[in-house]
Structure 1
């Protein structure tokens, strides 16, 4: 936790400190900081306890701390009868912060929040032999320059129908990762916007278990809508031109894709 806070503090000083180009006249908008928590669960009881904690304690406390929209997502169950049953349940919690300072204050704010401390008793004081989760991952991200802040999707379908697609792109080196980020900033995000992908965020990972990588989240009305969008994207002339550019060759080595639906109490 200390190393994570040091990393975020360093980024804060670089981006928002005195003398930074971003503080000059005509500066680009401040880039938001994002935290993605990934809970690994083994039982339905753990899922129920985590849902209770998130809905009744954690999200309300984040709202009181000035974080207005928090996303909670769970993987969509596979309809393939031949697919192996998942060995664990995942829950993704996405926390957008307007600054590094706000990010760094989350834990302190929770410690001072008496309502949270009361509502979170089961989670905070869980017994070692009856944990709320089996593992929790933490990913810290800095928003892309071409998409510096969160975008809330304008979807007409009900939450149960919606498909949120979380993608993680890993690169073979830091240089190739920077090149992939540049590809997004130099046109790929623009293509997503033009094709109405409802991209929620694009983040460059600054701390996490898989690096170097970037992550982004798109939203669709339903599974058919998600498939149709990617078909259109694959056939888009602008994307075909960009994909063929030699300067962007081999800048992505591994991709993870998660198809998610929002929890009933998710803000996003």
Structure 2
């Protein structure tokens, strides 16, 4: 019996050693879970109040909750005099969570955060006839398997010069949408990496107003750099070959593009 016990203990130790040794070997890395909040604002007063809330209350609270980097982005003003004047201002807040569980826990963390509750008074207790925003959109995403974690851009220019390009690709059907995701995972992400697009994230939308959908954010030093990168992408032999493959035909129905720059207090 004693020998049998020793054998069982030995087998358990061997199993535990193998499990620890093989952990992560050949296994898919853990994927981030993303929230993109889009604030719709009516005037400069709302923008100033929201900036104050994000800068002094929300981002510090997220940092205390274990989310080290949060992105805040604003549309780049159009330089074309003929461009239509926007009827509202948008502010995009990108929050990368390590998991869906961390996202679900955030509201509870904020309720318990006394410093946040004090700093966010104007936002939390705004009267109905003087709100900080007109509405909020929320988009939830799983990171792509081909880019399971977000990346900080390696840029040298100042925040006002930088161009952050947020793209949204809708598919005509769920099947075609998954085909476009596969195209990214199988090759397109690698082309972006090779051409140094400084992509922050690629996410498959699991909940949002536009579905089926994927979104990604690429970053550039300035407008000229952004244009040069896309010119190089369009002429890249691997992309030319990829887009001509019949298995990837018609996998994108509609694209929305937002040209952004980071807020002065953005972490990303």
- Give TM-score scaled by structure 2 length: 0.91
**What SS does structure 1 have at the residue aligned with 2:159?**
coil
Q: Which runs of 5+ in 1 are unaligned?
A: 1-22
Distance across 2 between alignment mates of 1:243 and 1:135: 38
Aligned-pair RMSD on alpha carbons?
0.9
**What SS does structure 2 have at the residue aligned with 1:52?**
helix
Q: Shift in Å at residue 75 of structure 1? A: 0.2
Q: Shift in Å at residue 213 of structure 1? A: 0.3
Distance across 2 between alignment mates of 1:64 and 1:24: 28
Mapped pair 1:27 → 2:27 = yes
Determine the structure 2 residue equivalent to 1:69.
69
Distance across 2 between alignment mates of 1:200 and 1:225: 16
Determine the structure 1 residue equivalent to 2:187.
187
Determine the structure 1 residue equivalent to 2:8.
none
**What SS does structure 2 have at the residue aligned with 1:216?**
strand
Distance across 1 between alignment mates of 2:166 and 2:24: 34
Give the number of equivalent residue pairs. Answer: 246
Cα pair distance change 1:25/1:229, threshold 3 Å: closer
Distance across 2 between alignment mates of 1:178 and 1:108: 33
Distance across 2 between alignment mates of 1:259 and 1:24: 37
Determine the structure 2 residue equivalent to 1:166.
166
Distance across 1 between alignment mates of 2:26 and 2:183: 24
Distance across 2 between alignment mates of 1:163 and 1:24: 36
- Give TM-score scaled by structure 1 length: 0.91
Please show how residues 1-268 of structure 1 align to structure 2 within 5 Å.
26-268=26-268
- Structure 1 runs of 4+ off > 4 angstroms? none
**What SS does structure 2 have at the residue aligned with 1:105?**
helix
Distance across 2 between alignment mates of 1:116 and 1:263: 20
Q: Which runs of 5+ in 2 are unaligned?
A: 1-22
